[in-house]
Structure 1
Amino acid sequence: MTRIAVFGTGIMGAPIARNLAAAGHDVVVWNRSFDKAAALAGPGITPVRNARDAARGADAAILMVSTGAVCDALLFGDDGIAEALPRGSTVVVMSSIPVETARTEAARLADAGIDYVDAPVSGGERGAVAGTLTIMAGGTADVVAKVAEWLAPVGRVTHVGPVGSGQLAKLANQLIVGVTIGAVAEALLLVEAGGGDAEAVHRALQGGFADSTIWRQHGERMIRGDFQPGAHATVQLKDLDTSTGLAGSLGLELPFAGLARDLYAKMCEGPRAALDHSALYLELAERRNG
């Protein structure tokens, strides 16, 4: 049994904590809004109000919070958990954060004798609940192998390189997701505007070259008009901002990513910011109607 502290118990963090506890780990949970952590109280899960209390004695600390700045503050800010974590413990950042932020955090924790893995995920709420997340892990091979054993109830861990590589893989993932959601939305709008049956076309393209998880899951969401967030549009925008910003610093031009970023930015100016990222469909439909 491993003692694991989970920081951030929202859409993704809560099912991750449940799956770890169900596998027999001793799980302590903390969330900025304590009510979300308290709702997880039960066999194998102990909610605490103070982040440092969660960190004390933990073998691993999993961070599933919103941004790199929040990760930095949680680790090193006032009452930061880095000072409470034992030497030899491991910080696993499952949040999507900038590559350089991950590398800097790892260096600072190494000075305290604490290992670090950046391990962002793909699979959304469904994958978190089912324990089938794709986990892209950056770090040393031995530390990632250890973390992979702990995270087996959460999903499949793939070691993609040194610290920061997990975030690079996640940016690649989010670029593909953001652009593909736009393509799926446009395809369905084309079918609907032309008088076709969107549901029939959705079924017909499954198994062909255009098929994908996004076509199946988000295409279905668009057809049903179900945009309750499994992954927030604001998070998609944040990751596209990070990927296009990194590309610019490397001298790369990514026109499709840039267009997707601009569309999500427009979407997130209004109330649709609170919706699932597949609600880009609504933004594009409004442009047609306008």
Structure 2
Amino acid sequence: MTGAGVTVGFLGTGIMGLPMARRIAGAGYRVVAWNRTHDKATPLAAAGVEVAGRAHDAVRDADVVICMLSSAPACDDILLGDEGVLAEMRASSVLIVMSSIPVDTAQRQATAAAARAVGYLDAPVSGGQKGAQDGTLAIMVGGDESMFERSRAVLQTMGRPTRIGPAGTGQLAKLVNQMMVASTLTAVAEAMLLAERGGADPAQVRAALLGGFADSTILRQHAARMIAQDFQPGGPAKYQVKDTRTAIGFAQSVGLELPVLGLVDDLFSDMVENGDGELDHSAVIRELRRRNGLPVS
């Protein structure tokens, strides 16, 4: 499904969803967007996106419906609730859930979609707000291969899609991603704090590490944010906690103990409880400061 003549319904135009919907429209698709807070969707009108007043209106004529809501309960409520939009979707259309949700939730949604002859893909993303703006998201896809191939062109407007396997495996890949992101963020925050406390300039330490084995996207982007104390959310910490807790629950369900993940989850949980849940997840360095009795500006 490519460009002109294809309608995409887009549900959820927050930090990530808005630039994603804009990129789809920019590729020539007709996009009808909806957001629970209507004003958050209205900026898309300048990009040629039609803004719907009701979620049902966004999906009714769609060939593809993309769900980019904040949580599994929010997705279930809009898709499968008493007035869920799945019932409005046309047979043979495709539902793509790009929110980060539990593996079993994706599998359950896939079953509900199949009962209505609607294709289903779970396709969570990584790359943050910048990746959404630039169309460089890593897109991890679970679902039927034929549905993936039908939807590949739409997904490619937003980044690099990779099919992992059957429904739910896209979410599993995202859990793995989030484990690595959260753990690396914590390690980089500890490193920057140690450098500062030991008398080195953290900015110079970061510069020295670039290109070495410790180099990473997180060192390049998020260490810079930690040093500048720029915590405007690209990925709010409250969503990081959601993902680490989901990963712990899934690990337990398959009989695994993941001790590093448990420690990282505790740190982010305390961060949210201490009022930093709306800040970028790189603000985890603030929680490390609290634990060490250091000033948090």
Shared fold, TM over 0.5:
yes
CA contact (8 A) 1:29 1:46 kept: yes
2:245 alignment partner in structure 1: 241
1:80 corresponds to which of 81, 84, 104:
84
Aligned residues with identical type, % of pairs: 50
Q: What do the CA deviations read for 1:138-157 (whole angstroms, capped 9, x no partner)?
A: 01111112211112110000
Structure 1 counterpart of 2:20, one-letter code: I
User: Equivalents in 1 of 2:198, 2:59: separation in Å?
Assistant: 57
1:198 corresponds to which of 202, 213, 233:
202
Within-5 A mapping of 1:98-247: 98-247=102-251
Aligned residues: 290
Say what the alpha-carbon RMSD is for the aligned residues: 0.9
1:288 corresponds to which of 268, 286, 292:
292
CA contact (8 A) 2:186 2:264 kept: yes
User: Equivalents in 1 of 2:201, 2:267: separation in Å?
Assistant: 26
CA contact (8 A) 1:24 1:44 kept: no
User: Equivalents in 1 of 2:64, 2:272: separation in Å?
Assistant: 35
- 5+ residue gaps, structure 1, are none
User: Equivalents in 1 of 2:83, 2:133: separation in Å?
Assistant: 31
User: Equivalents in 1 of 2:170, 2:259: separation in Å?
Assistant: 23
TM-score (norm 2): 0.96
User: Equivalents in 2 of 1:90, 1:200: separation in Å?
Assistant: 49
Q: What do the CA deviations read for 1:128-186 (whole angstroms, capped 9, x no partner)?
A: 00000000000111111221111211000001111000000000000000011000000
The worse-fitting range, judged by mean Cα deviation, of 144-153 and 183-192 is 144-153
CA contact (8 A) 1:63 1:93 kept: yes
CA contact (8 A) 2:22 2:47 kept: no
- 5+ residue gaps, structure 2, are none
User: Equivalents in 2 of 1:266, 1:43: separation in Å?
Assistant: 40
Is 1:34 the counterpart of 2:38? The answer is yes
User: Equivalents in 1 of 2:84, 2:43: separation in Å?
Assistant: 24
CA contact (8 A) 2:235 2:280 kept: yes
